Amino acid sequence: MTDIQCRQFMKDFFERYYQKLGNIGVMRPLDEADRAMWSDDADPNEEWKVWKLIPSTATEQDVENLEKTIGTKLPQCLKAFLTVYHHYFETPVGENPISAPFEAVLDAWNPLLVKHGYLPFTWDEEGYYIRCIDLTNMPDEEQCGIYQIDHEILFSLDEEITQKEELAQNMEYLSHNLFTYLESILNGEE
């Protein structure tokens, strides 16, 4: 997929998912830091507000800084995912609000996963799973599967001695790539 196609896919995904959830599905406790994301009819006196998608303000420099922070390059599909819209989706998508761009990636980041080629992009805190892109087949992003690992299993592994094979045995396959993963969410398969 070209960069333009990738960005269009992500834009379409977010808009379709937002529509699918409806107003009740996109109510969150939002404070002043994310006021730009409040729906136009949000009551400032209410804690829970319907939020809206807004175009991301993240820059290429912001992405480069994130890559330095997490110690790996982002695949183009994840860059598009993170820089098309600011959003407040919960799991299995993850949050990316104005007040904390890249929040889901930073919350899920783990050095052992990154060391062995798994790039965490969201943490399903209710289900206890950290979701990752397997970077083994880069630069062919469409061949980079999506996996998850129970955080309790992950946190029980010793970062210094755990080999990739042991980590891989604890990873659960979810989808062929980020695109099919997101489509499965839209189709209610997630």
Q: Cite the beta strand spans of 6-104 per DSSP E.
A: 27-29, 48-50, 54-55, 85-86
pLDDT tens figures, 103-146: 999 999 999 999 999 999 998 867 689 999 999 988 998 899 99
The helix-helix angle for 178-186 and 76-83 (nearest 10°) equals 40
Per-residue confidence (pLDDT) for residue 190, from 0 to 100:
64
Asked if 53 and 15 touch (Cβ cutoff 8 Å), the reply is yes
Calculate what percentage of the chain has a pLDDT beyond 70.
Answer: 98
How far is C-alpha 120 from the geometric centre of its chain's CA atoms? 8
Per-residue confidence (pLDDT) for residue 6, from 0 to 100:
94
Q: Which helix H or strand E contains 124, and what residues bound it?
A: strand 118-124
pLDDT tens figures, 164-173: 999 999 999 9
Read off the pTM. 0.89
Query: How much is the average pLDDT of 4-27?
Result: 91
Per-residue confidence (pLDDT) for residue 130, from 0 to 100:
94
Which residues pair with residue 87 across a beta bridge? 96
Q: pLDDT averaged over the chain? A: 91
pLDDT tens figures, 93-106: 988 999 998 999 99
Query: Tokens representing 55?
Result: 């175009």
Q: What angle do CA 181, 21, 59 make, to 5 degrees?
A: 60
pLDDT tens figures, 37-87: 998 888 888 889 989 999 999 999 999 999 999 999 999 999 999 999 999
Q: How confident is the model at residue 90 (pLDDT cuts 50, 70, 90)?
A: confident
Cis peptide, bond prior to residue 139, ω within 30 of zero: yes
| Residue 142: how many other CB atoms lie within 10 Å | 13
